[in-house]
Amino acid sequence: MGKFNKTGKKGMPELNTSSLPDLIFTMLFFFMIVTTMREVTLKVQFKVPQATELEKLEKKSLVSFIYIGKPMPEFQKKMGTSDRIQLNDKFSESNEVQDYIYQERENMKEEDKPFMTVSLKVDAKTKMGIVQEVKQALRQAYALKINYSATQRQ
Amino acid sequence: MARKKRDVPGINSSSTADIAFMLLIFFLITTSMDTDRGLARRLPPPPESEEQKDDIIIKERNILQVKINKDDNLMVNGEVNFDIRQLKDKAKEFISNPTDDPNMPEKHKKTLPFFGDVMITEKHVISVQNDVGTSYEAYIQVQNELVAAYNELRNELANSQFGKAFAECSDEEKEAIIDYYPQKISEAEPKKYGGK
């Protein structure tokens, strides 16, 4: 009986992989768009505090970052363990903040300058003294829009 | 002599997937999703000259003083050891002054779109003062509670006036609500008090 013929070899049909590259490309494009390269290597360690009333930082090109925290373990021998300020790629003092802001502002497009925002990424355990110094320096530099970086608290 | 039709050989594309995979992995590793969030603040412009510093006199009833000492304890309008969980309600009461309490900020008449003539506490100021030794964490918590107070008030107003949340209002409606409850948190110069 031909109907229940078991002689013909069936085997698993081969999976068609011709659309696999397309799938991967789609994912690739997704990650290419959402990716933002980290421009600086962090030399201080910080864990930002938690808060509930957060606003999103828009346009990355308008934002300059200031990091404050304890130096990373590999720098602690040289820099000690007290809180330090990091601007760009190096440790700085609070009196250098003003120059840093001017420099950052120079690099911006003319029409973007009034919207400059400074994001303060500060470790939760930092004492306010150093933050206060930075804030005064920002005031002097007329960088008045600031954003205290924080994570969402559930 | 008829020429034989020659086929163009297809390019072997079996390795495109591998190439795409490598790129994918690279971007997967370097990606950091947009997670930058924070409390937005506006600093006051620097004082023009030393003498000008103290010429703004604010009536005592218009000011809510929040002080944080080096041990992260709060003092609100002279009340020591204030609990931070009550700060939001205290601030809300202070900003809106619902009972027209003479110890709370005075109200002024103002004409706003959508609302008409309303009495609002235009001149109120919340002054946050911290010590040099205050931890950043405590400072952010206080700021957060104060911003939360404003956000809740604005939301309540939006709900009663427009029947929707503040975030869903149009730009004009938002502006009117912000004029109703202007955010006035002053960041005073740091003072050293309460020991070293």
The complex scores an ipTM of 0.73
- Of A68, A65, A95, A101, nearest in space to A84 by CA: A68
- The proportion of chain B whose per-residue pLDDT surpasses 90, expressed as a percent, equals 0
Task: Tell me how close the Cα of A62 comes to any Cα of chain B, in angstroms.
Answer: 13
- Of A141, A147, A57, A100, nearest in space to B34 by CA: A57
Name the band, by pLDDT with cuts 50, 70 and 90, for residue A38. low
Per-residue model confidence (pLDDT) at position A3: 62
> In chain B, where are the structural domains located?
58-187
- The proportion of chain A whose per-residue pLDDT surpasses 70, expressed as a percent, equals 91
Query: In B, which residues are within 8 Å of A123 by CB distance?
Result: 136
- The predicted model scores a pTM of 0.74
Could you tell me if A94 lies within 8 Å of chain B, comparing CB atoms? no
Query: In B, which residues are within 8 Å of A148 by CB distance?
Result: 38-39, 41, 140, 143
Mean pLDDT confidence for A3-28: 76
Q: Which DSSP symbol is given to B121? A: -
Per-residue model confidence (pLDDT) at position B196: 38
Per-residue model confidence (pLDDT) at position B56: 62
- B43 contacts A139? CB cut-off 8 A: yes
Distance CA B91, CA A22 (A): 56
- A32 contacts B144? CB cut-off 8 A: no
Mean pLDDT confidence for A58-67: 82
Per-residue model confidence (pLDDT) at position A9: 64
Could you tell me if A49 lies within 8 Å of chain B, comparing CB atoms? yes
List alpha helices for B16-69, DSSP H: 16-30
Cβ–Cβ < 8 Å for B106, B121 = yes
Mutate to test the interface with A, among B36, B74, B92, B129 (most CBs of A within 10 A): B36
Query: In B, which residues are within 8 Å of A150 by CB distance?
Result: 37-39, 140, 144
Per-residue model confidence (pLDDT) at position B55: 52
Per-residue model confidence (pLDDT) at position A6: 59
Note the pLDDT tens digit of each residue in A24-36.
Answer: 888 888 887 877 6
Could you tell me if B46 lies within 8 Å of chain A, comparing CB atoms? yes
Low-confidence ranges of chain B (pLDDT < 50): 51, 193-196
- Could you tell me which residue, A49 or B5, shows the higher pLDDT? A49
Per-residue model confidence (pLDDT) at position A42: 81
Per-residue model confidence (pLDDT) at position B50: 54
Note the pLDDT tens digit of each residue in A122-148.
Answer: 998 888 888 888 888 888 888 888 888
- B46 contacts A63? CB cut-off 8 A: no
Residue B49 backbone dihedrals phi, psi, to 5 degrees = -150, 170
Distance CA B80, CA A100 (A): 40
Task: Tell me: pLDDT of A7 over 50.
Answer: yes
- B32 contacts A49? CB cut-off 8 A: no
Q: Other C-beta atoms within 10 Å of A45: how many?
A: 14
Note the pLDDT tens digit of each residue in B147-165.
Answer: 888 889 889 888 988 888 8
B127: exposed, middle or buried (C-beta count within 10 Å: 0-12, 13-18, 19+)?
A: middle
Per-residue model confidence (pLDDT) at position B11: 78
